[in-house]
Amino acid sequence: MMDEQDQRIDDKNARDVISLASKDTERSAPRIDVLPASSVSQMMEMATQGFVVHRGAVPLYINQAMKDMLGVREDLPLLQKPILEWIHRHDRERVADNVKRRMRGEAVDEYDRFRLSRPDAAEFWVNCRATLVDWPDGPAILASLTDITQLKRTERAQERSDELFKRVFHATPDMMSLSFMRTGVFVDVNDNLANAIGLSRRAIMGQSIFDLEIWEDPTIPIKIASILKSDGCIRHMEANVRRGMARPFP
């Protein structure tokens, strides 16, 4: 019959066996939350966006997509330039300040937009997402960059179009208004229209074409909405309008 001491020894041996088996299982089981360094490198090389690892000086790593963005292949002298020399001179100071703050561990906006310069002096816009990562020899900044030059061109074209529309809208001698199709609420009216009906622009904006009691025929707003919905435009429609306080127009 087993005495108490022998029982304790057997229990300890059993625990040791279980512990060793558990460690062996941990060693043999693949970690799905950690990728091998070689896999990460392959993924970054296959990515369509540019990747750069740096500390504000010469890049520690740059993938092929980033080289393509910059218009370089294996131009080693160019790739040995400090990273901030790639930044457009008008954006460089701001980006450099963000790099210093991020390397100090300070809170910095994760996203930024700025311009880069190619060797041929061509400029292009990028959307950059940067974060601090552990690199083999210490903390470094991992930045992913996407070319948004076409988006910026579209935005600038839209801004120019909007500005031109505003100038024409307020400079034309005609009476003009801008309103929502579904509700008829006025977004804006020019001074000529406001003066003609005897109300301020502020008093008109926010109201709908149905709310303003300026029509002698109260069904006119409904007719206007119906024609616009069916035909998309109105030409040569006549309507009698009253000034504010029910005064006749003109």
- Residues 6+ positions from 209 with CB-CB distance below 8 Å: 179, 184, 186, 221, 224, 225
The answer to whether position 160 is within a domain reads no
Q: Within this chain, do residues 140 and 182 fall inside the same structural domain, yes or no?
A: no
Tokens read off for 16: 């040791």
Q: Are 185 and 208 in contact (CB under 8 A)?
A: yes
Q: Within this chain, do residues 47 and 96 fall inside the same structural domain, yes or no?
A: yes
CATH of the domain at 222: 3.30.450.20
What is the tally of structural domains in the chain?
A: 2
Helix (H) and strand (E) counts for the chain?
A: 9, 7
Gap between the Cα atoms of 197 and 193, Å rounded: 6
Q: Are 227 and 238 in contact (CB under 8 A)?
A: no
Give the other-Cβ count within 10 Å of 181's Cβ. Answer: 10
Start-end of H helices in the chain:
4-28, 37-46, 64-70, 76-79, 89-103, 149-171, 191-197, 201-204, 220-231
The answer to whether position 7 is within a domain reads no
Per-residue pLDDT tens, the chain, 250 aa: give them: 445 445 444 554 444 443 433 444 444 444 444 445 566 677 778 788 899 999 989 999 999 899 999 888 776 777 888 989 999 999 999 999 999 999 999 998 999 999 999 888 899 999 999 999 988 889 999 999 999 999 998 988 888 888 888 888 888 888 888 888 888 888 888 888 888 888 888 888 888 887 777 788 888 888 888 888 888 888 888 888 777 654 545 4
Tokens read off for 64: 């092929």
Q: Within this chain, do residues 199 and 239 fall inside the same structural domain, yes or no?
A: yes
Q: Are 184 and 208 in contact (CB under 8 A)?
A: yes
What is the CB-side half-sphere exposure of residue 204 using CA atoms within 13 A?
A: 25
Q: Within this chain, do residues 104 and 192 fall inside the same structural domain, yes or no?
A: no
Q: Within this chain, do residues 208 and 121 fall inside the same structural domain, yes or no?
A: no
In angstroms, the first-to-last Cα distance of the chain is 120
Tokens read off for 5: 């001491």
Q: Within this chain, do residues 186 and 135 fall inside the same structural domain, yes or no?
A: no
Domain boundaries, position 226: 170-246
